[in-house]
Amino acid sequence: MKKAISKINKRRSRTKNNREHLQKKVGQAPGQLIFSGDKKVDLIKCETFIYNAAELAYYENDDIAQLLANREEGKNIWINIDGLHDTEFIEKVGKLFNLHTLLLEDVMNLNHRPKFEDYGEYIFFTIKMFNGVQNEELDYEQVSFVLGKDFVISFQEKPQDIFTNLRERLTSGQGRMRSKGPDYLFYRLIDTIVDYYYFAIEHFAEQLETLEEDVLENADKESLVKMQSIKKDLVFLRRSVLPVREALSGLIRSENKLLKKDTRPFFQDIYDHAIHVVESLESYRDMLSSIKDLHMNAMSNRMNEVMKVLTIISTIFIPLTFIAGIYGMNFQYMPELSYEYSYPIAWVVMIVLTLLMIYFFKRKKWL
């Protein structure tokens, strides 16, 4: 229960921070670069991969302008930037590749919904990336991609990501990434993110199974708090994934020549995966609703059991109270009161009545 309450408090704090960041942007001119998020790294890390089918060169935190100037003709470049708090650096990168200021503004807006935009000479795509589960919480960040004629730029909040395997394959020359154009790398990056959505929904599946078992065994306040926490996570994930479907649909329909004909079917495959993830989230939301109904029914049944026991106890004491009430009246002439064995007889009668009522309740299966 403490973990669930801690998650709710963190979520409230995150919502408060987002509200404060949004207030900074109110009234600002369009294209104004304002970082709307929490600083997650002290220093920006910039990885650069310059490659073709035959060779690859890797650089870390080198001057991008110098690398672009010395790049050989026919080589593609992937620039991965970790850390978005330095507006001057982001603006410098934008000027090097002639990126629109509105695009850079979206890059630095970490609360932006996933979307696709076609700028003609380049394509912009932003999406929520889920890195896995840490301390029973989804670890996520905002990631943006820019696809150009011979380059791909990725903007991330922090260095830890899910592209390790992709980097290894690119470096070792495995697969088709080095022989294909930058649009194929662009596809692989988005595909990796969408594939990791399955790990997120698997996390929810495990949580819901555990929660259902807990509710069946003991429907208490802790289960209700867990349900509320899972519900908020499901809503957030659905809100993050649902626009991805729309963005991918726009990407598929785009006639931009940066997306080659042989690469386009791969984006259709990602679109199908996104639909499947959304459908899974819908089924889990229905499952959570069923568990909530189960919890309410269990609580209601428990209350009914308590009321049944109290009612049976009250019913047993009704005749006993009647007898005690009659002989508790202070009339002067009551023959039974002067009888020597009146007291033990009264006890015997009340005990027999109690046993008969208990027997009757058991015959009726009320006990």
Scan for tokens 């639909």, then name that residue. Answer: 275
**For residue range 46-60, what is the model confidence (pLDDT) as tens digits?**
999 999 888 889 999
One-letter amino acid for residue 249 of the chain: S
Given 3.40.50.150, 1.10.10.10, 3.30.365.10, 1.20.58.340, which CATH number is that of 308-363?
1.20.58.340
Distance of CA 303 to the CA centre of its chain: 33
Residue 27 confidence (pLDDT): 47
Residues of the chain with CATH 3.30.460.20: 2-297
pLDDT, greater one: 128 or 12: 128
DSSP character for 251? H
Determine the pLDDT at residue 201: 85
Q: Is 153 helix (H, G, I), strand (E, B) or coil?
A: strand
Instruction: For CATH 1.20.58.340, list the domain ranges present in the chain.
Output: 308-363
Phi, psi of 81 (to 5 degrees): -110, 120
More confident residue, 28 or 366: 366
Comparison of pLDDT for 278 and 132, the residue scoring more:
278
pTM score, whole prediction: 0.76
* 136 pLDDT higher than 80: no
Average pLDDT over residues 182-193: 94
137 φ/ψ angles, rounded to the nearest 5 degrees: -125, 145
What's the rounded Cα separation, in Å, for the pair 35 and 32? 10
Pairing of strands 151-156, 76-82: parallel
Judged against a pLDDT cut of 60, whether residue 126 lies above it is answered with: yes
More confident: 125 or 133:
125
143 residue type, one letter: V
| Nearest Cα to Cα of residue 214 among 49, 206, 188 | 206
Which residues make beta-bridge pairs with 123? Answer: 118, 147
Distance CA 226, CA 210 (A): 10
Q: Is 256 helix (H, G, I), strand (E, B) or coil?
A: coil
Evaluate if residue 5 carries a pLDDT over 90: no
Judge whether 156 and 82 are in contact, CB under 8 Å.
Answer: yes
CA angle (103 as vertex; 99, 106 as ends), nearest 5: 150
Spell out the long-range contacts of 188-191 with Cβ–Cβ below 8 A and sequence spacing 24 or more: 189/145, 189/152, 189/154, 189/163, 190/125, 190/127, 190/145, 190/248, 190/267, 190/270, 191/266, 191/269, 191/270, 191/273
Q: Which of 25-34, 107-116, 211-220 bottoms out in mean pLDDT, i.e. has the lowest?
A: 25-34
- State the pLDDT at residue 13: 53
Confidence at residue 50, expressed as pLDDT on a 0 to 100 scale = 92
Percent of the chain surpassing pLDDT 90 = 21
CA distances in angstroms from 43 to 12, 83, 89, 158, listed in the order given: 28, 7, 11, 10
DSSP track, 135-150: TTEEEEEEEEEEE-SS
- 266 sits in which H/E element: helix 264-326
* pLDDT confidence bin for 29, thresholds 50/70/90: low
Mean pLDDT computed over 62-73: 85
Length of the chain: 367
Q: What is the pLDDT of residue 146?
A: 95
- Between CA 141 and CA 130 the distance in angstroms is 7
pLDDT digits (tens, 9 = 90+) for 247-284: 999 999 998 999 998 899 999 999 999 999 999 888 88
- Chain-wide mean pLDDT for the chain? 83
Which is higher by pLDDT, 10 or 230? 230
Domain 2-297, CATH: 3.30.460.20
Which one has a higher pLDDT value, 199 or 136?
199
For residues 4 and 283, the model is more confident at 283
**How much is the average pLDDT of 29-34?**
61
Segment 164-185 shows an average pLDDT of 88
The pair of structure tokens assigned to 363 is 């015959």
Residues 200-232: pLDDT tens digits?
888 888 888 888 888 887 777 788 888 888 888
**Bridge-based pairing state of the strands 115-118 and 123-134:** antiparallel
Chain-centre distance for alpha carbon 180: 34
Q: What is the reported pLDDT for 179?
A: 86
- pLDDT band of 67, cuts 50, 70, 90: confident
Whether 190 and 198 have beta carbons less than 8 Å apart is answered as: no
User: In the prediction, which pLDDT does 334 show?
Assistant: 77
361 pLDDT band (50/70/90 cuts)?
A: confident
